[in-house]
Amino acid sequence: MENNQSNNKIFIYLLVVFFAFFAGTNIFLLVNNKSQPPSEKEMVATSTEGALNLFLDQEGKASFPKDKEIIINLKADSMEKNISGYDVVLSYDPLAFEFIKATSLLTDFTIHIYKKDNYLTLLGTKMLQSQTQSVFDKTKIVSLVFKPLKAGQFDFALEPSFNKDKTDFITDETEILNPALNELKVEIY
């Protein structure tokens, strides 16, 4: 009789341990699953030498009326490196868009703009008097404004190089970084 009672206690103990393990595992999986972010939908480029990405100012929108100027921003990631200058080559269809202006979104960087036949080059220089670190971490660095000229679907693309012009970041150690680049599709109606 005593032996039976002892066996029941052991059985109940094992049952409690089993349910506790089962519930714990489920809670862990549930919590772990919830903590994952929703998958990133925008196409971004990354690499060990950083990234430079084009994205529309009105995120989530890729279709625009012909009579409205569009704003495209440049977002940079310098992989924790301190940047003292950058060069950008951006190709686009000059028959479809008129380049209006480019503005530095970093107060201690000056940009010089060169409009070529079917591409644009930007040269960003950090002001001499600036002593702050310029580590780009998905940092918006430049805003570009284009005026659509005709309807259709068009590409804006960051190019690694074109003629003598290049896209790169220069660090405070004068190291040249070749960031991963993306392109952007825009529809004008």
Give the residue with the Cβ less far from other proteins, 51 or 56.
51
Q: Under the criterion CB under 8 A, does residue 138 sit at the interface with other proteins? A: no
Nearest to 143 by CA among 48, 49, 74: 74
C-alpha 77/C-alpha 55 separation (Å) is 14
Q: Which of 116, 138, 147, 150 binds other proteins (CB under 8 A)?
A: 116
Q: Under the criterion CB under 8 A, does residue 104 sit at the interface with other proteins? A: no
User: What is the closest distance, in whole angstroms, from the C-beta atom of residue 158 to other proteins in the complex?
Assistant: 15
Write out the E strands in 30-182.
Answer: 51-56, 63-64, 70-77, 83-91, 97-104, 109-115, 119-126, 139-148, 152-158, 161-162, 165-166, 168-171, 176-177, 180-181
User: What is the closest distance, in whole angstroms, from the C-beta atom of residue 172 to other proteins in the complex?
Assistant: 6
Q: Under the criterion CB under 8 A, does residue 148 sit at the interface with other proteins? A: no
The contact set with other proteins (CB under 8 A) reads 84-87, 112, 114-117, 123-126, 128, 164-166, 168, 170-174, 176
